[in-house]
């Protein structure tokens, strides 16, 4: 996605008004040229667009906090009733820390025992603060057990 010409002109005007970018006028170097300013503005816009695309690949206008699968009413109701602590606790030892639970390791990456893997029952999600893996009980079963989505849903429906 590109920026409008008016926005680009406003950025260039801001840099031109500054005039002494990096102190060039006071150091005896050539002053900043319009070409320099256009390059800087284009570079900043490109970086901003790349960062936006990295943070929000779906283009929703918000960066995702945790994986949000498509939820049919049945799946949403299932996830509301499934105890994610019980599901994940069947695979990892969880320790209560405030309103969440922590595991001694993350099953999705190698790296020490720092309790970076959290299960947040109020939100019905898990999250690793190191590898940023996150999701619901269904996602956990799919990734840890290699189940297909439909099988993971059936597994949870039948009391795992």
Domain containing residue 141: CATH number: 3.90.580.10
Q: Token pair of 145, please?
A: 């057990």
Residue 32 counted as domain residue:
yes
CA end-to-end distance (rounded Å), the chain: 45
| Helix segments in the chain, DSSP class H | 5-18, 24-27, 34-55, 73-81, 84-89, 137-145, 149-157
Residue 65 counted as domain residue:
no
Asked if 107 and 92 touch (Cβ cutoff 8 Å), the reply is: yes
Q: Token pair of 77, please?
A: 């109701």
Q: pLDDT for 48-101, tens place per residue?
A: 655 565 555 555 555 455 454 555 658 889 999 999 999 999 999 999 999 999
Distance CA 22, CA 31 (A): 10
**In sequence order, what are the beta bridge partners of 97?**
100
Q: What is the pLDDT of residue 114?
A: 75
Q: Which residues contact 158 (CB under 8 A, 6 or more apart)?
A: none
Same domain, 96 and 146: yes
Same domain, 50 and 86: no
Same domain, 39 and 83: no
Residue 64 counted as domain residue:
no
pLDDT above 80 (res 24) = no
Same domain, 95 and 150: yes
Q: What is the pLDDT of residue 158?
A: 86
Same domain, 78 and 131: yes
Domain count, the chain: 2
Same domain, 44 and 77: no
Mean pLDDT of 121-139: 94
Q: Token pair of 63, please?
A: 């960066």
Distance CA 126, CA 96 (A): 13
Same domain, 101 and 153: yes
Residue 68 counted as domain residue:
no
pTM: 0.54
Q: What is the pLDDT of residue 22?
A: 47
Residue 42 counted as domain residue:
yes
pLDDT above 50 (res 1) = no
DSSP state of 30: P
Residue 102 counted as domain residue:
yes
Same domain, 43 and 80: no
Same domain, 80 and 147: yes
Asked if 133 and 127 touch (Cβ cutoff 8 Å), the reply is: yes
Q: Token pair of 115, please?
A: 């309790």
- Residue-wise over 21-50: b if at least 16 C-beta within 10 A, else e? eeeeeeeeeeebeeeebeeebeeebeeeee
Same domain, 135 and 78: yes
Residue 66 counted as domain residue:
no
Q: Which residues contact 141 (CB under 8 A, 6 or more apart)?
A: 87, 147, 152, 155, 156
Domain span including residue 97: 73-157
Residue 60 counted as domain residue:
no
């Amino acid at each position: 996605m590109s920026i409008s010409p008016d926005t680009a002109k406003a950025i260039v005007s801001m840099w031109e008004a500054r005039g002494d970018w990096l102190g060039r006028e006071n150091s005896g170097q050539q002053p900043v040229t319009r070409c320099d300013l256009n390059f800087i503005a284009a570079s900043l816009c490109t970086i901003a667009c790349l960062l936006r695309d990295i943070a929000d690949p779906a283009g929703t206008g918000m960066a995702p906090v945790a994986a949000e699968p498509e939820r049919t009413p049945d799946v949403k109701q299932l996830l509301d009733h499934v105890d994610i602590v019980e599901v994940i606790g069947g695979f990892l030892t969880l320790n209560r820390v405030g309103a969440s639970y922590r595991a001694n390791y993350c099953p999705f990456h190698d790296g020490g025992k720092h309790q970076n893997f959290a299960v947040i029952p109020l939100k019905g999600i898990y999250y690793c603060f190191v590898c940023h893996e996150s999701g619901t009980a269904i996602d956990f079963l799919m990734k840890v057990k290699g189940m297909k989505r439909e099988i993971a849903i059936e597994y949870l429906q039948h009391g795992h």
